[in-house]
Every structure is written in structure tokens, then in C-alpha cells.
């Protein structure tokens, strides 16, 4: 039997994923040692391997077949636009992609004016404004703390993730429009899906049962 390799998104998503996998009898003892600098972890009995990667890299590892399966946020899947199968909504990591800004920017959105949009997600922002709203915009790509942009006058609005809404509240910004809901998803390499159909299908089915129990 060949190894099935999982690429997990480093951080909270990986922890939640490992909790869920444990519920269906999949664990990786090697990963418990938080002081370890090891990058690739193996469960020899189940012939599984796991590694942690930065979110935007997960779809890349899966598309090239370096990982058979990836666990990553829907935001990253949309932004990276790689050729993988998206097979399951894991039901955690729930948040929303939104257009946010000061209340005063609401007018600009209604009248389809040429506005500046700051975001870590230029593709999602472009798709939304060009294709859904038919509005021409100027996109400014940032790498973090996006909420700063309208506060210091870099942009009129932002396109960003809202989870609890506290970052917006504490900075005097609001949700102006919702782009789409987000959550953690399982993606699968297209060739792996054919070669390892039985094992992957069973994994999806087992996970589905546990996810349904949680909801």
C-alpha cells in the first residue's frame, strides 16, 4: 500500500483537522511533540503521512501531487484557483469574505464609482467587483492588517475575512457587503482521486458522518 499524504494548513485549522481525524481513528503520535522541528510526520500502521504548510501553499502541494489531500480555507481555494477536487466542507473555520469600510464608503459602492480596494485577495476582489457587480476598481494588494488601509486613507474599502467582527468594530469599520461564506475544505489531487479512490472515498464518508454528528 502506498502512503496517502495530507497537507494541513499550519495553525488553528491543522489543530481542528487533527481533532476531527482522531474521531475517525486517524492519529499521528509523531505530531504531538510540539518541540520537534520535524516537517513530515508518518503513521506507519495506516500508511499515512502529514505535513504542515502555509495556507496558500496547500493547493500547490496538492495540484502537483506532493500531497494527495489538502485541508485549507475556501478563501485560499478561491484565490489560488488550482486544479484540485474540492470534496468536503469540514464545517469549522467558519467566517465570511466581505467588503468592509467606513459607513461613508457605502455611497461609493451604490453608485458604482471608481474606488480603491485594498485586499490580500486580489482575485476574489476582482471576481466580485468585475463579474458580480460590474464595477471597475483599483486593487491595492496588501499582505496583512488590511483594516489599516481605509483608516489611513490608502483605500476606500477592503475585501477581507470577517470572523467575529471585532477587528472591524475596534477600528470603526463595518461590513458593507458580503461576498461569500467561508470554511475549511478538503481538497484532493485529481490523479490521487482515481488511483486511491476506495481509500479516499472511505475517508470522506467517515468524515461526513462525524461532521453531521457535530452539526
Give the residues lining the site for ligand PRP (CB under 6 A). 144-147, 160-167
Measured from the CB atom, the residue of 99 and 162 that comes closer to ligand PRP is: 162
Q: What 3-state DSSP class applies to 55?
A: helix
> By C-alpha distance, which of 29, 64, 19, 30 is closest to 191?
64
**Close Cβ partners of 201 (under 8 Å, ≥ 6 residues apart):** none
Query: In the complex, which residue's CB is closest to ligand PRP?
Result: 144
Measured from the CB atom, the residue of 80 and 160 that comes closer to ligand PRP is: 160
Shortest CB 148 distance to ligand PRP, Å? 9
Shortest CB 142 distance to ligand PRP, Å? 9
> By C-alpha distance, which of 146, 158, 143, 115 is closest to 55?
143
Handedness of CA 27, 29, 34, 40 (dihedral sign): negative
Measured from the CB atom, the residue of 125 and 162 that comes closer to ligand PRP is: 162
Give CA–CA dist 59/25, Å, rounded. 25
Measured from the CB atom, the residue of 26 and 142 that comes closer to ligand PRP is: 142
Give CA–CA dist 139/124, Å, rounded. 11
Question: Which helix (H) or strand (E) covers residue 21, if one does?
Answer: helix 12-23
Q: Are strands 174-182 and 69-73 parallel, antiparallel or unpaired?
A: unpaired
Measured from the CB atom, the residue of 71 and 161 that comes closer to ligand PRP is: 161
Shortest CB 170 distance to ligand PRP, Å? 8
Shortest CB 156 distance to ligand PRP, Å? 17
Measured from the CB atom, the residue of 59 and 192 that comes closer to ligand PRP is: 59
Residues 105, 115 contacting (CB under 8 angstroms): yes
Shortest CB 55 distance to ligand PRP, Å? 10
Give CA–CA dist 81/56, Å, rounded. 10
Shortest CB 92 distance to ligand PRP, Å? 14
Amino acid at each position: 500500500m502506498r502512503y496517502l499524504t495530507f497537507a494541513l494548513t499550519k495553525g488553528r485549522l491543522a489543530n481542528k483537522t487533527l481533532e476531527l481525524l482522531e474521531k475517525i481513528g486517524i492519529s499521528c503520535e509523531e505530531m504531538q511533540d510540539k518541540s520537534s522541528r520535524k516537517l513530515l510526520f508518518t503513521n506507519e500502521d495506516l500508511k499515512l503521512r502529514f505535513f504542515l504548510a502555509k495556507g496558500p501553499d496547500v493547493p500547490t502541494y496538492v495540484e502537483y501531487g506532493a500531497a494527495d489531500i489538502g485541508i485549507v480555507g475556501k478563501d485560499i481555494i478561491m484565490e489560488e484557483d488550482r486544479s484540485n477536487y474540492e470534496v468536503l466542507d469540514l464545517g469549522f473555520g467558519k467566517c465570511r469574505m466581505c467588503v468592509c469600510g467606513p459607513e461613508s464608503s457605502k455611497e461609493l459602492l451604490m453608485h458604482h464609482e471608481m474606488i480603491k480596494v485594498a485586499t490580500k485577495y486580489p482575485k476574489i476582489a476582482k471576481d466580485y467587483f468585475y463579474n458580480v457587480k460590474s464595477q471597475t476598481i483599483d486593487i491595492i494588494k496588501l499582505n496583512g492588517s488590511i483594516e489599516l488601509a481605509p483608516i489611513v486613507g490608502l483605500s476606500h474599502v477592503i475585501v477581507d475575512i470577517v470572523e467575529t467582527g471585532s477587528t472591524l468594530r475596534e477600528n470603526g469599520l463595518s461590513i458593507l457587503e458580503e461576498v461569500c461564506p467561508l470554511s475549511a475544505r478538503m481538497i484532493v489531487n485529481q490523479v490521487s482521486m482515481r488511483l486511491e479512490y476506495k481509500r479516499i472515498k472511505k475517508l470522506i464518508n467517515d468524515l461526513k458522518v462525524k461532521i453531521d454528528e457535530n452539526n
